Each structure stands twice: as C-alpha cells, then as structure tokens.
Amino acid sequence: MSITAADVKKLREISGAGMMDCKRALNETDGDIDAAVDFLRKKGLAAASKKAGRVAAEGVVVSVSEGNVGVVLEVNSETDFVSKNDSFVGFVNEVASIIIKENPADNEALKALPFDSEHNVEQALSQLIATIGENMSIRRFERTEAAAVASYVHGGGKIGVLIGIDGDVDAALARGVAMHVAAANPRFIARDDVDADTAARERAVLSERAIASGKPEAIVEKIVTGQMNRFYSETCLLEQDFVMDTDQKVGKALGDASVVSMARFQLGEGIEKKEEDFAAEVAAQIQGS
C-alpha cells in the first residue's frame, strides 16, 4: 500500500509525532492509522512533538575535538536538571561525534543522519523527548578543521568555545586562547573581519558624541580615530590583552600562527525565557480537574 502525504499529515495531527516517525509507522502498519498510532505509542513517540511549544533554554554546550577536527554544539532542554541526565548527556556526546565524522551542512542534514541501527538523529531526539518528558532541541553547531584545534567548556556546559589555528602553535597556548575567548567574548578575530556597516555605525556614534560634547571640529577626527582603535582592541581577539599574560596581546602571543576560525556559544543566549508562575499554574490545574 502506498503511503500518501495526506496519510502522514493525518497521523501527525492525531499523534503529535514527527513527520519521519509517522511515515515509518505507516509503512510498518501497511497504512493503518489506528495501528500506526499504537506503533508510535509503543515506541514512546506519540507525544514528543506536543512538547515542542514549550521553551527550551537550558541544556548544555559541548566542545570537543578529534585530531584536526572539532565541533561546538548546543542542545537545549527545558530544565537544568535534564542537562545532567545520563541519557541526555550521552545523546549530546553522540551527536557531537556524528558531526565530527559526517560533517553535515546544517541542522536539517544532521537530523537526517543515522544515530544508531534503527533511528536517525531526529528520531533519536523524539524518543529522548518522550522518555524524559521535556521539550529538547538541537539548536546549533559549528564544525572546524585546522592545523590545530582547541576546545574549551566553561561552567559545566554554560559556555563552549572552539578555535581553529593554522601554523606552529603549542597545544597549551591554543587552549589558552580558547579560554581567553570564553572569558573576553571577542566579536571578531581581527579588525579586518569587522564588517563595513558595523565600523561605520560605530564611527558615526563616536563622531556625534564628540561633536555633542563641544569638541572643536578640527580635532574630532583625531578623537574618533583613537576611540575606534579602542573599539577594535575591545572587540577583536588578536588585539585584546591576553588573559593568560596581560602584558601582551593575543596576536603577539600567537606569533606567526593565525586564528582561522572562532566560535563561542553561550547556553540559551537569544532565547526568550518564559517566567514561570507556579502558583497560577497549580491553580489552573485545580480548576481544570
């Protein structure tokens, strides 16, 4: 029996399971919707996507490397408690390993990759959601290849850093640079990486500020140039004071080696967290019972 898109859509609406899970269930049950629902329930998948609307801003950031390849990955959950769950941690570490080996182009490509002999990554995540009972998501990852790769995780998975360096560099120094990035949070590697719009906007703000303060027009440009240099020294990795040795800049500490990639993930950044009112939640549950 051929399985149609309408069949998959109907099963998704009934079960709340993911598209690929629904398609597989229909194939396994010869298109029988009721049997497919039972199939999904037995697999623990029927309610997984019903949790998808809940905010997942906790979780963990991991950063790992194997040889000259590394990955930094953020996987979110609803609560910090789940981030310490062995099944969750095992899933995250396995996904990081898959990214290193398979080099997927994006999240969608990653989700389609095999996780084990029976499931792809998306299906494995659905099973984990159903088992633990919280919404979870693979939010983002970055993979890099370079002559030297340094990874660093701070705060038990609150911040993850991945650095790619070309040239002759000591492993301890490379890790030190990764730790520096975690602490100093540079926006760019070098001033040449600052896009024209960002530089122009910063220069315009500094110019208006100098003019508004009553500084003579003849020296405004000199003042702005000095302040732009300070802007670069604060936001560009190579021009920042090295946290491991504040007497020199990061660029000088690296010598002839060059940073070719830099990624810093902070757990939950940019995710709007819902403020929980537990008293109201309990009251609503009592009224609904």
3-state secondary structure of 175: helix
Q: Which residues pair with 72 in a beta bridge?
A: 63, 142
Give the other-Cβ count within 10 Å of 43's Cβ: 20
E strand intervals along 112-207: 136-145, 148-154, 159-166
pTM score: 0.76
Q: What is the pLDDT of residue 40?
A: 78
Among 29-33, 135-139, 252-256, 277-281, the least confident range: 277-281
3-state secondary structure of 19: helix
33-57 pLDDT, tens per residue? 888 887 876 666 655 555 555 666 8
Q: What is the pLDDT of residue 22?
A: 85
- The confidence band for 19, taking pLDDT boundaries of 50, 70 and 90, is confident
Q: Taking residues 82-108, what's their average pLDDT?
A: 96
Domains and CATH numbers, the chain: 5-46 (1.10.8.10), 58-168+260-269 (3.30.479.20), 191-254 (1.10.286.20)
Spatial distance between the Cα atoms of 230 and 248, rounded to a whole number of angstroms: 16
How is 254-269 classified by DSSP, letter by letter?
A: HTT-EEEEEEEEETTT
Q: Taking residues 238-252, what's their average pLDDT?
A: 96
Spatial distance between the Cα atoms of 115 and 95, rounded to a whole number of angstroms: 8
Spatial distance between the Cα atoms of 247 and 154, rounded to a whole number of angstroms: 24
Quick one: 237 exposed, middle or buried, by C-beta within 10 A (0-12, 13-18, 19+)? buried
Q: Which residues pair with 153 in a beta bridge?
A: 160
Beta-strand pair 258-266/69-77: unpaired
